[in-house]
Structure 1
Amino acid sequence: MDRGFVAQLTDEVGLRSYLDAGATCYVGFDPTADSLHVGHLLPILALVHMQKHGHRPVALVGGGTGMVGDPSGKTEMRQLLDLQTIRSNVEAIGSQLSRFIDFSGGKALILNNADWLLELRYIEFLREIGRYFSVNRMLAAESYKARLESGLNFIEFNYMLLQAYDFYYLAEHHQCLLQMGGNDQWGNIVAGVDLIRRKLGKESFGLTFPLLTTATGEKMGKTAAGAVWLSGDRTSAYDFFQYWVNVDDRDVVRFLRLYTFLPLEEIQAVESLEGQELNACKAVLAYEATALVHGREAALSAFKAAGQAFGRRTLPEDLLPSSSIPRKGGQEAEAIPTSYFSEMELSRGIPAVELFVACGLAASKSAARRLIEQGGAYVNGERIGAVDSPVSLAQLGRDGILLRAGKKKVHRVQVGR
């Protein structure tokens, strides 16, 4: 609770007693893509914390519920995926979760609800499960109320029953009596608690996490370019690192509690910091979050690349001392996003306005032109004076040609490929 993971509990006293005896708990992940994103990181880390404290986590990948689509938090129906895509996504997500949770030796379980949901007989399901659900209560749930005006179809209406059945199945077959999830899942979780009580005569528990937004009101893990993915193929370790470096000052301490395992007393010690000292905390946050998702080596490479792009940073030894972040900045640039051009192209020179578009630093030539005219475009740290200024081999250094758009977006140009 001290880290800010808990929004609601069904029964705090009963849950504490269950945890004292050693608990099995689960979180569900629907396979809507071949990677999870930063929005999933909070529930993943909740499972990691549970395992660290001696409990058995269950990661439930929704190969079955993914065929229906969860209406929670959505203003329109999710796009239905074909079976092969869902299977592929389930496999990818399972592999991704294994980077965070130790599934060896029964310490944790990773399950696919397609294994039991796809075998259900519809009439039997209605008689054995559906009869315990009140339509009036279902329509009162936030996950459905938000959709009624825009249109809630019947396939989505079944989602609460299926999620409740998952909880019931895990309680019966794996002695799992705690379900955790985002606060938008409260109605679904409570429905499962009620079903377990009615069908098994057991007490079970629900815990929800806060639905995080940034201090600016944006959904956690969203940027102008889209979602911040946990897969390095979708979001590079360097761009992942930069996402955390650029969080709002007001979010730093909260995110250190949620997205790192640094001791709380060390985090409390930096609550009053401002300015450059707070920026140093952002570097630690970025390093620790990147290390969790991509590994220490990738985090180190991203940290050093950021130092090469934006200048070296020396961190005080007593600032969040449990972090393994280097206390002196480096110059390596391996992690910076890179584009390759032939030696002939660079010999001729590439107009800056075209190069910034080709490297993804501007969405169009007109956007690149505005960027340059407003003084926000740089080559090797020097501001570009004219839109037709050529970038050529003459500017190629040991680490390539470094392009920068504004204060945050960096790209490297190299010869080859």
Structure 2
Amino acid sequence: MTFSAAPLRLSTAAADFETAFKARLHWSADADAAIEQRVAEILADVQKRGDAAVIEYTKRFDRLDVADMTALELTVEELRAAFESLPAVQREALEAAARRVRSYHEAQKKASGESWQYRDEDGTLLGQKVTPLDRVGIYVPGGKAAYPSSVLMNAIPAHVAGVGEIIMVVPTPGGEKNPLVLAAAHVAGVSRAFTIGGAQAVAALAYGTATVPAVDKVTGPGNAYVAAAKRRVFGTVGIDMIAGPSEILVLADGSTPPDWVAMDLFSQAEHDELAQSILLCPDAAYIDRVQQEIDRLLPTMPRAEIIAASLNGRGALIHTRDMEEACAISNRIAPEHLEVSSADPHRWEPLLKHAGAIFLGAYTSESLGDYCAGPNHVLPTSGTARFSSPLGVYDFQKRSSLIEVSEQGAQTLGRIAVTLAEGEGLPAHAEAARMRLK
């Protein structure tokens, strides 16, 4: 079967651009009501019955019929054996990617994840104490696709942050275990791993069972049921984010080979039909050449049907007046992945404020960031890059304020506190400060 893809062509000069642009960007994070109801029932059941409920749902959804939870736990030895069973080229690729991801996050920790303190002029100590979370859970998708890269991107920053225990859950429908995923868990230092998935896995991590320990935070991507479950357990545990469909925005000046850009658009479109791939470019002739490459390359792609559905349903090729306008539109979109495919990317980078990750230059394909560049590939989607950041070491740490007020400082601060506390009608607050005044 032959598939064709014609992403929506837009021009910022057109009178109806704003209407068409907003319609193409639209995506709702609201979960289906039936999914929400089912997830609520699963969470409540796991919270009530623990292991028994997890075993029941794993049998129903993943076709794994086991007598007890021990059959659903992957041992450290099994993870190591999976790593050792891989071809040398795969072992080396995993280790090389892990080294780069670890090196980046160690630098991140040094820059933004250390405790600090100072004393002001009256001797009062003020500061911040940074400590790691005790235990985190990482969800790794299974089923149709397996993502060893997700293991590295979630477990390694947790490890670098100093998290004491990392619990991995991964569905294995029909009992099919992906050796790369298991090997990645070994390389990344996962503490314990269970072959469970879906809302029941999130519930087990959030509430704990007799076998699965309760964690402090749950991270990692998943389907609509996993996303709904993470949304519902937030507050009992922390979560990283509620991720929407994958996105790429290519900001091009026409200097990059058009087949490179076409393939970069494919790289996100192949994730699923709701993924979004957008090109912004001031050169209309170049946009035509990219479309020609889309037409030429699509029939060669194993996932052509998914790519075509994504590009036809949510893709866009947008002709802008100039690169400055392209940068402004990019900031409005706040994409998950932003490629600056330009002969001079550093000219445009200062104009770009909102993006999960920015890939500079024609040789920096987004796919390198997915696997081995070093920065985290867990990124904000659906415009949330306006206020959110990539997953990082800081997501596996918490911060406590340090305050040690000197006797002299208590005289100055106490008078301020008394005035404000009385103004708020909280006399005990005021008196606690007043008692320390000379």
Per the normalisation by structure 2, the TM-score is 0.24
Relative contact order, CA 8 A, sep 6+: which one is greater?
2
Per the normalisation by structure 1, the TM-score is 0.25
